[in-house]
């Protein structure tokens, strides 16, 4: 509504600067006649103000949402982690200092959850990213129906954590489950995927691997396609075979992308929650009868909403964040070291 008026502020320039760009605007402007004297400076001031303020106005919605629903809650979570906050008695919050944290450090369940988060994180991330690089390499060939292949590899990504886990629970069931049945075919004894330590952790990890391998493969594929062809050409002239080219051209060129996927997967693995929760069925928040696959995310949900200790849940959330920050710093240092050695 204001824009045709503002177009009047520069009636002369509009004609020669962008002819035909917005013919309607210029025509309408002339039809309205010239602006009354005195208002012109007000308009140009408005125009300048618009130029200055609009960038902030454009980024404001994101920062308002982030501030209100992430940053402020993050600080409040820190505050609650220093209080005794019970789900059953929300008004009776009392200051307890670092009690919640001390409580965690002396709790076997916390260390167990931390260790599980780490092992499940490794079992799910390392094979996933390795397979994704291999898959990307294959997808990078000239293929018949290349789009179809890519979409098929991405379909697990369309499946929600909940839906995928419900299916895998059935596939992994002790008797009558597809996976044990197939193992029996090959002559392997059935595995108790629900109860055994490594079996259950592997099963939970396999859901993560299934959902994310194709996604990461596409990310690697995009990076592979950006590698300049002459690098391969000169490697070939030097007598490098395809495997050597992959090792000495593709992998080094992918290094930033690999770092990116490692970081993203680490963040995902640290907050792993839905897969172990639903894998556990009715008492899912315990992460198995012996807490074999109770991750930090699960432990937090269990303490906060099943047991009802929201103060402790807040302390777990902050511990998780601190661990993530430490891991991020380590990854940064490692990547810097790698870059230097290059």
Is 30 among the residues that bind another protein (CB under 8 A)? no
Is 226 among the residues that bind another protein (CB under 8 A)? yes
Is 276 among the residues that bind another protein (CB under 8 A)? no
Is 10 among the residues that bind another protein (CB under 8 A)? yes
Is 262 among the residues that bind another protein (CB under 8 A)? no
Nearest partner of 98 among 112, 115, 81, judged by Cα = 81
Segment interacting with another protein, rule: CB under 8 A, options 99-107, 108-116, 197-205, 304-312 = 304-312
Could you tell me if 118 and 205 are in contact, meaning their C-beta atoms sit under 8 angstroms apart?
no
Cβ neighbours of 307 (radius 10 Å): 14
Burial class (CB in 10 A: 0-12, 13-18, 19+), 116: buried
Min dist CB 215 to another protein, Å, is 7
Contacts of another protein in 130-159 (CB under 8 A): 135, 137-144, 147, 149-159
Residue 116 to residue 16: CA distance in whole angstroms = 68
Is 56 among the residues that bind another protein (CB under 8 A)? yes
Binding test (CB under 8 A) with another protein, winner from 281, 333, 334, 339: 281
Is 257 among the residues that bind another protein (CB under 8 A)? yes
Dihedral sign of CA atoms 277, 331, 76, 56 in order:
negative
The residue with tokens 């007598």 is 239
Is 233 among the residues that bind another protein (CB under 8 A)? yes
Min dist CB 246 to another protein, Å, is 8
Could you tell me if 43 and 11 are in contact, meaning their C-beta atoms sit under 8 angstroms apart?
no
Segment interacting with another protein, rule: CB under 8 A, options 96-104, 112-120, 121-129, 223-231 = 223-231
How many chain residues interact with another protein (CB under 8 A)? Answer: 131
Contacts of another protein in 76-95 (CB under 8 A): 76-77, 80, 85, 90
Contacts made by residues 154-157, CB under 8 angstroms, sequence distance 24+: 154/214, 154/215, 154/218, 155/214, 156/210, 156/211, 156/212, 156/213, 156/214, 157/211, 157/212, 157/214, 157/215
Is 200 among the residues that bind another protein (CB under 8 A)? no
């Amino acid at each position: 509504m204001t824009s045709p008026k503002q177009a009047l502020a520069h009636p002369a320039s509009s004609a020669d600067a962008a002819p035909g760009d917005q013919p309607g605007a210029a025509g309408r402007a002339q039809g309205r006649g010239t602006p009354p004297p005195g208002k012109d400076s007000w308009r140009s001031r408005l125009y300048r103000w618009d130029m200055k303020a609009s960038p902030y106005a454009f980024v404001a919605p994101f920062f308002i949402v982030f501030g209100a629903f992430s940053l402020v809650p993050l600080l409040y979570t820190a505050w609650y982690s220093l209080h005794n906050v019970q789900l059953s008695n929300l008004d009776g919050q009392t200051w307890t200092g670092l009690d919640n944290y001390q409580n965690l450090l002396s709790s076997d369940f916390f260390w167990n959850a931390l260790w599980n988060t780490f092992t499940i994180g490794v079992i799910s991330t390392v094979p996933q990213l390795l397979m994704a690089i291999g898959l990307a390499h294959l997808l990078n060939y000239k293929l018949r129906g290349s789009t179809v292949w890519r979409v098929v590899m991405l379909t697990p990504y369309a499946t929600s954590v909940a839906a995928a886990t419900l299916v895998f629970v059935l596939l992994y069931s002790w008797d009558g489950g597809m996976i044990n049945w197939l193992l029996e075919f090959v002559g392997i004894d059935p595995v108790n995927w629900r109860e055994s330590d490594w079996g259950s952790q592997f099963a939970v990890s396999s859901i993560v691997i299934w959902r994310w391998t194709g996604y990461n493969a596409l990310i690697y594929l995009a990076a592979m396609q950006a590698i300049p062809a002459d690098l391969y050409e000169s490697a070939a002239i030097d007598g490098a075979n395809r495997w050597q080219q992959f090792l000495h051209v593709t992998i080094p060129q992918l290094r930033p992308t690999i770092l990116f996927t490692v970081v993203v997967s680490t963040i995902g693995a640290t907050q792993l929650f839905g897969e172990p929760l639903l894998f556990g069925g009715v008492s899912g928040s315990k992460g198995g009868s012996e807490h074999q696959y109770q991750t930090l995310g699960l432990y937090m949900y269990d303490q906060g909403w099943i047991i009802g200790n929201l103060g402790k849940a807040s302390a777990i959330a902050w511990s998780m964040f601190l661990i993530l920050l430490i891991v991020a710093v380590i990854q940064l240092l490692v990547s810097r070291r790698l870059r230097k050695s290059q």
